[in-house]
């Protein structure tokens, strides 16, 4: 009798615990389905999401929508997507690993590390008031975007898009990116002297990619795989255009307004600043490995990575607040986000397949947080 009563109590408790989780899953299902959009100018054909609240023992991993506007095949939760600038977290991690190993220092001058890369043009890289400050940039200033370097994507967005659409299938090299930088006269458009401000520029991370390739004596794709992807078990992540795809699932289309990017655009210009393809689950693995000190073991270096330097940015790491709760991570141009709070045990990874959302980005991710917290 006592055994029967105990089993009944345990069964009841299990059912009671399951109901809130089921209700939350249903609310999240509704939330993401309502954020799909058939707006022809800004379609959101698919949303991929991984959410976790460790304290509530809640995991939510789903995909919504279809592969593209014209292909109604349902997406998988493990479908691949372009991470865009989330890649900067990985590039920064590789640099800090080199620092941890004593191969370079945060205050090393970049010109002393890769001055032999003639196409970078350190003798004229960053002109300000008639003086070149390109040789004064240190590694830490690349990591936290305080170098003052101009950016080919933001400072000359119209010029870049015009050049880009002349040959949208072009396979870009890092040398092409620096040639474009000089073509647009961006070396004469520095924002400030190194260390005297904050300006987000992918040029910083292209330089970091060159440092990694030299001091690892291997291509960037191999460095990602050897020092991050394989140790963490990120089997569905790869550097697009630089190695074979490791995810065989169909690639859901993403959109630049009404332009279908996958079909019409080669995005190899992202490289060290945004070239990784991943999944929501793999990015979840990365954040937990990073904060679990598996990738950067020295606490001082790790704290430097996640500490606000200027404008809520550490080393490759944005700092976010949702209702006063601090989250760490990064967002990407193609509609991707990763957010993590180790104290609350909350992970949020999402891909919304549209660079120009038909709704406000912060309201969307904050609404997601309100449900899962």
- The full set of domains in the chain, from first to last, is 81-372 (3.40.710.10)
pLDDT tens digits for range 131-149: 999 999 999 999 999 999 9
- Are the beta carbons of 358 and 42 closer than 8 angstroms? yes
Cα–Cα distance, 131 to 149 (Å, whole number): 14
pLDDT of 201-224, one tens digit each?
999 999 999 999 999 999 999 999
- pLDDT of 311 reads 73
Give the angle 328-333-337 at the CA atoms, nearest 5°: 30
Sort strands 58-65 and 131-132 into parallel, antiparallel or unpaired. Answer: unpaired
pLDDT bin (cut points 50, 70, 90) of residue 4 is: low
Residue 336 has a CB neighbour count (10 Å cut-off) of 27
Mean pLDDT to the nearest integer, 243-271: 92
Over the chain, what is the mean pLDDT?
A: 93
Q: Note whether 194 and 257 are within 8 A (CB).
A: no
List C-alpha distances in Å: 269 to 177, 203, 234, 235, 276. 7, 11, 23, 24, 12
Concatenated DSSP letters of 118-169: GGG-TTTSSEETTEE-GGG-BHHHHHTT-S----TTTTTHHHHHHHHHHSTT
What is the pLDDT confidence band of residue 310, given thresholds at 50, 70 and 90?
Answer: confident
What pLDDT shows up at residue 7? 47
Instruction: Give per-residue pLDDT as tens, 327-369.
Output: 999 999 999 999 999 999 999 999 999 999 999 999 999 999 9
pLDDT at 9: 44
Range scoring the smallest mean pLDDT among 2-6, 147-151, 155-159: 2-6
CA angle 28, 34, 36 (to 5 degrees): 110
Does the predicted TM-score (pTM) go above 0.85? yes
Does the structure show a pLDDT above 90 at 11? no
What was the pLDDT predicted at 17? 47
- pLDDT band at residue 232 under the 50/70/90 scheme: very high
Report d(CA 122, CA 70) in Å as an integer. Answer: 47
For the segment 65-124, what is each residue's pLDDT rounded down to a tens digit?
999 999 999 999 999 999 999 999 999 999 999 999 999 999 999 999 999 999 999 999
What's the pLDDT band for 265 if we cut at 50, 70, 90?
A: confident
Q: How far apart are CA 85 and CA 333, in angstroms?
A: 7
Predicted confidence band of residue 2 (pLDDT cuts 50, 70, 90): low
């Amino acid at each position: 009798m006592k055994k029967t009563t105990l089993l009944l109590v345990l069964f009841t408790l299990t059912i009671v615990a399951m109901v809130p989780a089921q209700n939350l899953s249903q609310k999240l299902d509704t939330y993401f389905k309502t954020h799909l959009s058939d707006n022809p100018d800004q379609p959101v054909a698919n949303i991929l999401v991984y959410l976790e609240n460790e304290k509530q023992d809640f995991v939510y991993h789903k995909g919504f929508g279809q592969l593209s506007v014209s292909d109604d095949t349902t997406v998988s939760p493990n479908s691949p997507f372009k991470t865009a600038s989330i890649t900067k977290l990985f590039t920064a991690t590789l640099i800090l690993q080199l620092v941890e190993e004593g191969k370079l220092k945060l205050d090393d001058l970049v010109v002393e590390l890769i001055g032999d890369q003639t196409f970078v043009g350190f003798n004229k890289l960053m002109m300000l008031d008639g003086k070149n400050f390109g040789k004064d940039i240190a590694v830490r200033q690349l990591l936290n975007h305080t170098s003052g370097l101009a950016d080919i994507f933001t400072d000359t967005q119209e010029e870049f898009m015009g050049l880009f659409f002349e040959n949208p299938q072009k396979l870009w090299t890092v040398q092409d990116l620096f040639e474009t930088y000089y073509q647009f006269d961006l070396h004469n458009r520095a924002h400030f002297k190194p260390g005297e401000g904050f300006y987000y520029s992918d040029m910083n991370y292209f330089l970091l990619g060159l440092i990694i390739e030299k001091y690892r004596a291997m291509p960037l794709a191999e460095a990602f795989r050897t020092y991050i992807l394989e140790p963490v078990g990120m089997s569905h992540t790869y550097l697009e255009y630089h190695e074979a795809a490791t995810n065989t699932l169909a690639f859901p289309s993403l959109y630049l307004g009404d332009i279908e990017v996958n079909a019409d655009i080669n995005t190899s210009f992202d490289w060290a600043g945004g070239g990784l393809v991943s999944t929501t689950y793999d990015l979840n693995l990365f954040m937990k490995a990073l904060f679990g000190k598996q990738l950067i073991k020295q606490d001082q270096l790790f704290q430097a990575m996640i500490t606000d330097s200027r404008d809520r940015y550490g080393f490759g790491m944005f700092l976010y607040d949702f209702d006063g709760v601090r989250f760490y991570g990064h967002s990407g141009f193609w509609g991707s986000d990763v957010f993590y709070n180790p104290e609350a045990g909350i992970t949020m990874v999402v891909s919304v397949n549209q660079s120009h959302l038909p709704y406000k980005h912060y309201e969307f991710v904050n609404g997601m947080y309100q449900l899962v917290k």
